[in-house]
């Protein structure tokens, strides 16, 4: 047999595992200009059929207390102001001084045909109780705000990984090429951990979140300088693009340059599209009042919720809203009372508005914090103040987008200290969110630092009971 003879299969194999592959890639690069590359934000088909096409993620930064919002614990009434001596917690108690059980200052009632538990101060949200799916079994790993925020928003406690919205737009693209696929509505003060909560991480820069400022121009330098016409701006951009494309052909390994090219084009298109997308002056007075716009307590978050609806209408894939100050170590009745008052009406309006417009079924809404709160805290002068951080128990709820509406999934123990039924790590929750949007966490990967990475870090389990 002639050992020097190569059949077609062997030739192709050697071509792909030798310097020939480099030459072949170079030839392909020479004959393919930047115009031939697909738009990274173009709509993509998911791994599964899914009802949810968009996601609105309501992030309550600071850790809302589940036992004071959606998970009543009557047992705390009998233990109120009694010393906290639960087995396994004695060391902590001795190190930090005496601690006491604290009952909720809020009364609870059941609402809707589903009998959903809600504190009485959720006056408007209770009207849409049957549209909600409550999940009481989620747990996280950290009691520190920045690391817990990173884990809830990015899947990794230590930052540097892509945000949820970045993963979703990487997997599905966006339905509107004139707006960012991932839009963030923060407060004036960024959440703990800062912009890394909506970073693209190691994904290409196309997928990073675009924050809109709550005051002033939503995006700095959105409008061109005075005296610069759109025609002249287009000519300048075309010249810059041609120069950058020539450079990109010489250095195809530099993905950042391709992202920069696309960002220039997107920025140009956004000058026209963004002002219309964020303009609420065309909304009826009835709609503005429904969201609480113009009311001191609800105006800020009401505007965010209304903008979120407008963004989803225009095809933005993922919109994340931040609401802060839920870290209630002191005076939880006053603190949580004011916070609920600020978000209750706007969130209920968002659900009702999406439902009336036929968008709720295709829009997944998520409400959560980075962790829950403990059933105990320190007491001063006989007054029960607030609650500490609790990574072992929390309440998350979903609405729309194929979730199992009208059900409460999972449970915590009688005091709300830890989840005891349908207990799942947050990675399972993330995997479930992706599934509702038609994405498979095991297939939604990106090669970085020597391995294929994914949102769940190393895989998770879909929480089937959260899906209708």
Question: Which of the two residues, 268 and 229, has the higher pLDDT score?
Answer: 229
Per DSSP, the residues of 417-434 read SSEEES-EEHHHHHHHHH
Per DSSP, the residues of 152-209 read HHHS-TTS-SPPHHHHHHHHH--S-TTS-SEEEE--SSPPTTGGGGG--TTS-GGGS-
Would you say residue 287 has pLDDT above 90?
Answer: yes
- Residue 93's pLDDT is what? 36
- Residue 92's pLDDT is what? 40
Average pLDDT value for residue range 207-230: 70
For the chain, the average pLDDT equals: 85
- Residue 376's pLDDT is what? 86
Q: Percent of the chain scored above 90 by pLDDT? A: 66
pTM of the model: 0.83
The pLDDT tens digits for 28-56 are 333 334 445 678 899 999 999 998 999 99
Q: CA 415 to CA 74: how far, in whole Å?
A: 8
Domain boundaries, the chain: 54-218+298-466, 221-277
* CB distance 404 to 396 below 8 Å: no
- Residue 20's pLDDT is what? 43
DSSP conformation class of 225: P
Per DSSP, the residues of 285-353 read HHHHHHHTTT-TTTHHHHHHHHHHHHHHHTT-SEEEEEE-----SS-HHHHHHHHHHHHHHHHHHHHHH
The pLDDT tens digits for 341-383 are 999 999 999 999 999 999 999 999 999 999 999 998 765 555 5
Q: CA 369 to CA 192: how far, in whole Å?
A: 12
Per DSSP, the residues of 82-138 read SB---TT-HHHHHHH---EE---SS-EEEETTTTEEEETT-TTGGGGGGGEEEE--E
Average pLDDT value for residue range 11-19: 46
The pLDDT tens digits for 54-98 are 999 999 999 999 999 999 999 999 998 888 765 544 334 334 457
Q: CA 316 to CA 41: how far, in whole Å?
A: 11
- Residue 273's pLDDT is what? 66
Structure tokens at 419: 């989840």
The partner residues of 396 in beta bridges, in order of sequence, read 135
Which of 272-276, 353-357, 390-394 is predicted least confidently?
272-276
Average pLDDT value for residue range 263-291: 77
The pLDDT tens digits for 105-127 are 999 999 999 999 999 999 999 99
CATH class of 54-218+298-466: alpha beta
* CB distance 233 to 268 below 8 Å: yes
């Amino acid at each position: 047999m002639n050992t020097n003879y190569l059949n077609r299969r062997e030739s192709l194999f050697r071509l792909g595992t030798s310097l020939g592959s480099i030459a072949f890639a170079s030839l392909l690069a020479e004959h393919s200009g930047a115009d031939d590359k697909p738009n990274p934000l173009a709509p993509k088909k998911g791994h599964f059929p899914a009802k949810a096409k968009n996601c609105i993620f309501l992030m309550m930064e600071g850790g809302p207390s589940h036992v004071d919002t959606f998970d009543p614990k009557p047992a705390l009434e009998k233990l109120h102001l009694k010393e906290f001596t639960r087995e396994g917690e004695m060391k902590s108690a001795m190190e930090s001084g005496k601690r006491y059980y604290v009952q909720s200052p809020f009364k609870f009632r059941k609402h809707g045909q589903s009998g959903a538990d809600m504190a009485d101060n959720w006056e408007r949200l209770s009207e849409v109780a049957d549209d909600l799916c409550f999940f009481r079994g989620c747990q996280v790993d950290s009691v520190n705000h920045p690391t817990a925020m990173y884990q809830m928003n990015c899947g990794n406690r230590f930052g540097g990984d892509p945000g949820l919205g970045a993963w979703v737009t990487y997997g599905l693209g966006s339905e509107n090429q004139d707006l960012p696929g991932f839009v963030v509505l923060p407060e004036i003060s960024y959440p703990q951990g800062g912009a890394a909560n909506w970073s693209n991480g190691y994904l290409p820069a196309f997928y990073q979140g675009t924050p809109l400022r709550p005051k002033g121009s939503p995006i700095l330098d959105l409008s061109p300088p005075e005296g610069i016409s759109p025609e002249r701006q287009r000519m300048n951009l075309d010249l810059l693009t041609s120069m950058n494309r020539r450079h990109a052909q010489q250095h195809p390994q530099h993905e950042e340059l391709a992202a920069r090219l696309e960002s220039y084009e997107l920025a140009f298109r956004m000058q026209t599209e963004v002002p219309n997308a964020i303009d609420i002056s065309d909304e009826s007075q009835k709609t503005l009042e429904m969201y609480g716009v113009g009311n001191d307590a609800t105006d800020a978050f009401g505007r965010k919720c209304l903008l979120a609806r407008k963004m989803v209408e225009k095809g933005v894939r993922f919109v994340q809203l931040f609401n802060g100050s839920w870290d209630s170590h002191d005076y939880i009745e006053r603190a949580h009372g004011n916070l609920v008052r600020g978000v209750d009406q706007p969130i209920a309006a968002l659900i009702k508005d999406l439902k009336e417009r036929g968008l709720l079924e295709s829009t997944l809404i998520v409400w959560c914090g980075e962790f829950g709160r403990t059933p105990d805290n320190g007491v001063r002068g006989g007054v029960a103040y607030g609650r500490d951080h609790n990574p072992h128990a929390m309440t998350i709820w979903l609405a729309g987008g194929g979730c199992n509406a009208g059900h409460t999934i999972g449970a915590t123990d009688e005091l709300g200290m830890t989840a005891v039924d349908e207990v799942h790590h947050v990675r399972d929750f993330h995997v479930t969110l992706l599934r509702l949007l038609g994405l498979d966490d095991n297939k939604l990967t990106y090669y970085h630092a020597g391995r294929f990475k994914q949102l769940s870090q190393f895989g998770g389990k879909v929480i089937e009971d959260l899906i209708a």
